[in-house]
Amino acid sequence: MPYYSARVYITLRPSVLDPAGTAVRSGLAHLGHTQVNSIRIGKYIELSLEAENETTASQQVDRMCHQLLANPVIETYRFELEPLATPA
């Protein structure tokens, strides 16, 4: 079966407060980076998987995101799939 690489981007929904982002923004300001207006912290996940075809791979990654990788109540996710020549 072919291998695919997926890059998953998980971000907090815009309505959800991001205390870690606020802390980082204040940390940056203390270091002199006062030109930063907003900052939101999310997760970035790289995974490789085996699937029959790209459609199946996409469905599987979507299910993984929904079930475990993201919390759909407070987070949204998107991902990119790419065929891999060899397993990573």
Residues interacting with a copy of itself, by CB under 8 A? Answer: 3, 9-11, 24, 27-28, 31, 33, 35-51, 60, 63-64, 67-69, 87-88
- Shortest distance in whole angstroms from residue 30 CB to a copy of itself: 9
Exposed / middle / buried, residue 75 (Cβ in 10 Å: 0-12, 13-18, 19+): middle
- Shortest distance in whole angstroms from residue 48 CB to a copy of itself: 5
Q: Are 78 and 58 in contact (CB under 8 A)?
A: no
Main-chain dihedrals φ then ψ at residue 61, nearest 5 degrees? -65, -40
Question: Among residues 67 and 73, whose Cβ is nearest to a copy of itself?
Answer: 67
Question: Among residues 16 and 88, whose Cβ is nearest to a copy of itself?
Answer: 88
- Shortest distance in whole angstroms from residue 73 CB to a copy of itself: 18
CA distances from 44 to 10, 31, 37, 41 (A): 6, 25, 22, 10
